Amino acid sequence: MKKDAVLYMVIPCYNEEQVLPITSKLFIEEIKDLIQKGKISNQSRILFVNDGSKDRTWEIIEELSKENEYIIGICQSRNRGHQNAVLAGLMEAKDIADITISIDCDGQDDIKAMESMVDAYYEGSEVVYGVRSKRQTDTFFKRFTAESFYKLLNKMGAEVVYNHADYRLISSRVLKEFANFHEVNLFLRGMIPLVGFKSSSVYYERHERMAGESHYPLSKMLSLAFDGITSLSIKPIRIITGLGLFVSMLSFIGAIWAVITALLGNSISGWASTVCIVCFMGGIQLICLGILGEYIGKIYMEVKARPRYIISERTWDKDKDNENQ
C-alpha cells in the first residue's frame, strides 16, 4: 500500500481555552513528524470541533487556523456533548480524508501513539483502537468507576473494547458505512465495532489533563453508561422479565406457605410482612417502569430523527472549495 494517506485528526473541544494553546503545539508537532517520516500526505489536517464553548475556544481555533496551514476548525451551533462533536468532525472528514484519528484535546491520551495507529492501518486494519495500558494517573475512584463501567457494559451486551475511550483511527471506508447508522442516541465506542472490518489495538499510557478541568463528573459518566447500555442492548428488558418470573414464583411459594400455616392454625396478624412485601414490590415495579420508560424515551428521540449536529461556522469556505473542484 502506498504510504500517503490523508489523515484528519478530529479533536472535540468544549471550554478548553486553557489547554488548547498547549496541546495544539503537540498536535502540530505530531502531524509534521508523520509527514516528514513519509507516513501521511501533506494534505493532512488537524480538525478542531468547537462544541459550543462558552469561553474563547473558538477564537483560539480561528487564530490557530490563520497561523498554521495544518489547522482547520468547525464550530457547532451549540453544545451537544462530546459524542456528537466527534461525530460532526468525522462526518466532515469522511469525504476528504483517507483516515481519521479522534482524540481528546486535553493531552491525556498519548499523541505519539498515532504513529503506531497509522502503521497498523498500513498493515491492513481499518479501525485501530487506542487502549490504555495503565490507569495509574487516574484517582482510585475514577479507575474503579471506569472499570466497573466497562464490565457492566459488556455484561449488558454492549460490545466495547476494554479500556478504550474515544481515541481511535477509523478509515474513510468504515466511516462511509458508519454514515448509514442514523441513530440519534450516540455511543461511538459501542457503535464502531458494529460496523465490522478488520480492527486492531494500540496500547498507550494515559496522562493527567494538561490544564483545565474534566467535563465528565460522575453524573455524566453514569448517564453515558446508561445511554451505552440502553442504546446498544435490550438485555435490561430481558432481566426485568426474568425478575418478574422470579418474584412471581416466590410469591407462589409464599402463598402455599400462607395456606399451610393457616391450616395448621398458626396464622399471625402479619401486618409487618405484608407492608414489607408491598413496599418491595412497589419498588421493583417502579424500577422496571423506569427502565421501560427509558427505552420508550429513546424510541421517541429516534423517531423525531433530529439532526445530530449543526455546523454554524468553519475556518475555511466550504462552498468555495466545492466550486473549485
The contact set with Mg ion (CB under 5 A) reads 104, 106, 108
Query: According to CB under 6 A, which one of 106, 110, 126, 227 is a site residue for ligand UDP?
Result: 106
24 binds ligand UDP (CB under 6 A): no
Helices (H), the chain: 20-36, 57-67, 82-93, 113-122, 140-155, 172-178, 188-195, 218-232, 235-263, 271-304, 318-324
Least distance from Mg ion to the Cβ atom of residue 206, Å: 9
d(CA 209, CA 206): 9
Stretch that binds ligand UDP, among 9-17, 37-45, 229-237, 252-260 (CB under 6 A): 9-17
Report if residue 135 touches ligand UDP, rule: CB under 6 A: no
Could you write out the DSSP letters of every residue in 188-244?
A: HHHHHHHH-S-EEEEEE-----SSS--S--HHHHHHHHHHHHHHH--HHHHHHHHHH
Residue 48 neighbours by CB under 8 Å, 6+ apart:
11, 13, 20, 24, 61, 64, 71, 72, 73, 74, 105
Orientation angle between helical segments 20-36 and 57-67, nearest 10 degrees = 30
Residue 71 DSSP one-character state: E
Within 10 A of 222 (CB to CB), how many other CB atoms are there? 12
Quick one: cell of 82?
Answer: 462530546
Closer of 19 and 169 to ligand UDP (Cβ): 19
Closest contact distance (angstroms) between CB of 311 and ligand UDP is 14
Instruction: State the nearest-atom distance from the C-beta of 213 to ligand UDP, in Å.
Output: 7
Q: Considering only residues 31, 61, 81, 231, which one is a binding residue for ligand UDP as defined by CB under 6 A? A: 81
By CB under 6 A, residue 82 contacts ligand UDP: yes
User: Minimal CB distance to ligand UDP: which residue?
Assistant: 214
Q: Could you tell me the CA-to-CA distances from 303 to 78, 159, 190, 299, 306 in Å, in that order?
A: 22, 24, 21, 6, 8
Lay out the site mask for ligand UDP across 44-63 (x = CB under 6 A, - = otherwise): -------x------------
Q: List the x/- string, 195-234, binding to ligand UDP by CB under 6 A.
A: -------------------xxx------------------
Closest approach of Cβ 109 to Mg ion, in Å? 8
- Using CB under 6 A as the binding criterion, the count of chain residues that bind ligand UDP stands at 16
Q: How far is the CB of 182 from ligand UDP (least distance, A)?
A: 21
By CB under 6 A, name the binding residues for ligand UDP. 12-14, 16, 51, 79, 81-82, 85, 104-106, 108, 214-216
